[in-house]
Amino acid sequence: MRPFFVIFHENTAMSGRLLVIALVGAVLWWPPVGAVCGSANHVDEYARVAYVYDGDTVRLQDGRKVRFIGVNAPERAHDGHSAEPLALAATNALKTLLSASPRIGLRYGKQHFDRYHRVLAHLFTGKGLSVNAWLLDQGFAAAIAIPPNLWNQVCYQQAEQGARRKKRGIWSLRYYRPLPAGRLDRNSRGFHLISGRVRKVSRSRKSIWLNLGGAADLRIARRDLPYFERQDFERYVGRRVEARGWLHPYRKRALLQIRTPFALQLLR
């Protein structure tokens, strides 16, 4: 199965020294964050970054680990798993950005910690630049929206859409496409964009299910229905959709849980 992120070979123009030059240039032309994406007028805390794990996770000087809200960057090798393609490029991009701003602002989410006890936050540089939006705009991450931490969601979506239109970073490679649902098998795992036609909609006591044919199902938990504003899911039947999230095996099928409308888009 093709990975969600695609490899940039080491001899491309976005590696090594040229990568650093490109990133510095990107910081220089980025307009004020208030005019583009969110606002730094509410910051819960200022801190200093001691270590960058990957494109969406850092460690502060006091030892706390911070996971960025609203973005998903490729992970580096850990626990016997090989690095995801573009993990090093995303990590170096973040290091370059933060090296110019050792003091960063943290805006916490409504859910303050994740299940790994990492702090969940939006990051801003000392000059008010949204770090999360910058990663999305440069194509070093994909946007995600996980309730209840939905502040700035629309802005992050727009930043990703801009990168996709301009084919920046992960969106520039011809091998990067949403995976066709019909090609998934029940053992498919990890974060992916997938596409397919909704064959039917069914309901259970706790969930609404959208079947994409083959071995793929989308699940919307009833506890998340308030985020969908009484949406009529029957309108998806026969329509092609693009969904994003983490795949995992469930009852001999590949299951992707949909938490917000952003994760489920109708295609033309």
Q: What is the pLDDT of residue 214?
A: 82
Q: pTM of the entire structure? A: 0.84
Mean pLDDT, the chain, integer: 85
Q: What is the pLDDT of residue 22?
A: 46
Token digits for 25?
A: 């240039």
Listed in sequence order, the residues at least 6 apart from 22 whose beta carbon sits closer than 8 Å to its beta carbon are 13, 14
Q: What is the pLDDT of residue 40?
A: 73
Residue 161 burial (CB count, 10 A): 14
pLDDT band of residue 2 (cuts 50, 70, 90) is very low
Taking alpha carbons only, the member of 20, 42, 22 closest to residue 30 is 22
What's the whole-number mean pLDDT along residues 174-191?
83
Token digits for 125?
A: 């540089």
Residue 231 burial (CB count, 10 A): 14
Q: Does position 138 have pLDDT exceeding 60, yes or no? A: yes
Of the chain, the end-to-end C-alpha distance in Å amounts to 25
Percent of the chain at pLDDT > 70 equals: 84
Q: Does position 33 have pLDDT exceeding 50, yes or no? A: no
Helix, strand, or coil (residue 160): helix
- Which CATH number is 179-266 given? 2.40.50.140
Helix, strand, or coil (residue 80): coil
pLDDT band of residue 80 (cuts 50, 70, 90) is confident
Q: Which residue has tokens 């969930």?
A: 207
Phi, psi at 61, each rounded to 5°: -60, -30
Token digits for 58?
A: 């850092």
pLDDT band of residue 37 (cuts 50, 70, 90) is low
Residue 105 burial (CB count, 10 A): 22
Taking alpha carbons only, the member of 141, 161, 28 closest to residue 90 is 141
For the chain, the structural domain boundaries read 30-172, 179-266
Q: What is the pLDDT of residue 30?
A: 45
What's the whole-number mean pLDDT along residues 98-127?
94
- Which CATH number is 30-172 given? 2.40.50.90
What's the whole-number mean pLDDT along residues 37-64?
91
- Dihedral over alpha carbons 36, 42, 44, 46 (to 10 degrees): 60
Q: What is the pLDDT of residue 35?
A: 38
Give yes or no on whether 30-172 and 179-266 have one common fold. Answer: yes
Cβ proximity of 124 and 104 under 8 Å:
yes
